Structure 1
Amino acid sequence: MPNISDARILIIATDGFEDSELLDPRQTLIDRGARVTLASLDTQEITGDKGKAIRPDCAIDAVDSKQFDALLLPGGTKNPDKLRMEEQVVYMVKKFVDAGKPVGAICHGPWLLAEADVIRGRTVTSWPSIRTDLKNAGAEVIDREVATDGNLVTSRQPADIPAFTEAFIKLVETAEAPLETA
């Protein structure tokens, strides 16, 4: 995929997302011409930790992963904790990773990668409080602004959003078409 403006990006979030980790990368992607779709558990407005609200474009059960080139998973403590209990969300994350599509997860977002069992043997970073969970899921965990390993890019916190977003865009723009579609 040569340019982010050709990309179709799926973001999955629910109530309790970290406002900046959803809204800032989403806006950057839109500003650069990507077609961004926000999916949630239903189409009711979702609210972030700091009170920002946004209405999802669709419910996760209406998503066909084959229609998307990449997946973005924002953090916040409540958002990924709720989503990792949703079988359909975990399955969707696994499909994207297994298909070789770019997946970005920031802060507590990598909890979903652990739940989907897709980080064994991979190098990731995250918010400090979930690093033990990631290690227990078989990942090598580092403390760095951004960690890119194959089709995964992870980051630690809101302060890392600019670097995370740029690394995610680079990953999308350099991704080869997956051998199988998710």
Structure 2
Amino acid sequence: MLQGKSIAFLLAPEGVEQVELTEPWRAIQRAGGTPRLISTRAGRAQAFNHLDKADTFEVDATVDQVSPADFDGLVLPGGVANPDFLRTDQNAVRFVRGFFEAGKPVAAICHAPWTLIEADVVRGRTLTSWPSLRTDLRNAGATWVDEEVVISTDGPNLLVTSRKPDDLKAFCQAAVDAMVAVEP
């Protein structure tokens, strides 16, 4: 299904919700794709199980070493600190915006849409997120809905969003489907 496709997973150096990284990562691998861990800093990224430190993960490249042209799609895992850090990093925001400009699929879960807001790519789109982002998304011009998974086709690319770890099964399937739907 995803044979030959490389999918970027963008993380801050710490703060990603571990299960929101590992479950989509495995789904991309099971579908035959190659996930690559991209961060704002080289080394290892510290994941969390909610507020408790969990595992660390080796970074494959930093955002200043790659471009959206190197990938077929992008996954943005959540966690509160992860997207909050990413949205303050100009290289990370530019990297995210580049996927939209290129019409490539993007999947974002939980708090990850904060980074989408900063990249100014949610205006006119329908999406979901962790409920506390509802007002932020509406203020950025999006239509927010409380659904397990939303597949938005009302923009230049497929955008898959989900609310929380409980939605991971549906999110992973929709993310893989979105990555498959786009020609390399």
TM-score, length-scaled by structure 1? 0.93
Of 124, 142, 151, which residue of structure 2 is paired with 1:121? 124
Question: C-alpha displacement at 1:4, in angstroms?
Answer: 1.6
Tell me how far apart the structure 2 counterparts of residues 174 and 31 of structure 1 sit (CA, whole Å): 16
Do residues 102 (structure 1) and 101 (structure 2) align? no
Question: C-alpha displacement at 1:45, in angstroms?
Answer: 1.1
Q: Which moved more, 1:101-110 or 1:51-60?
A: 51-60
Secondary structure of 2:48's match?
Answer: coil
Do residues 65 (structure 1) and 68 (structure 2) align? yes
Tell me how far apart the structure 2 counterparts of residues 26 and 112 of structure 1 sit (CA, whole Å): 19
Question: C-alpha displacement at 1:31, in angstroms?
Answer: 2.5
Tell me how far apart the structure 2 counterparts of residues 174 and 33 of structure 1 sit (CA, whole Å): 14
TM-score, length-scaled by structure 2? 0.92
Secondary structure of 1:163's match?
Answer: helix
Identity %: 42
Q: Which moved more, 1:153-162 or 1:35-44?
A: 35-44
Of 171, 177, 182, which residue of structure 2 is paired with 1:175? 182
Secondary structure of 2:15's match?
Answer: coil
Q: Which moved more, 1:129-138 or 1:29-38?
A: 29-38
Question: C-alpha displacement at 1:176, in angstroms?
Answer: 4.3
Number of equivalenced pairs:
175
Of 5, 8, 20, which residue of structure 1 is paired with 2:6? 8
* Residues 59-112 of structure 1: CA deviation (Å, up to 9, x unaligned): 111112211010000000000000000001101111101211000000000111
Tell me how far apart the structure 2 counterparts of residues 137 and 176 of structure 1 sit (CA, whole Å): 30
Do residues 35 (structure 1) and 34 (structure 2) align? yes
Tell me how far apart the structure 2 counterparts of residues 121 and 176 of structure 1 sit (CA, whole Å): 25
Mark the runs of 5 or more structure 2 residues left unpaired by the alignment. none
Tell me how far apart the structure 1 counterparts of residues 67 and 113 of structure 2 sit (CA, whole Å): 22
Moved over 2 A (4+): none
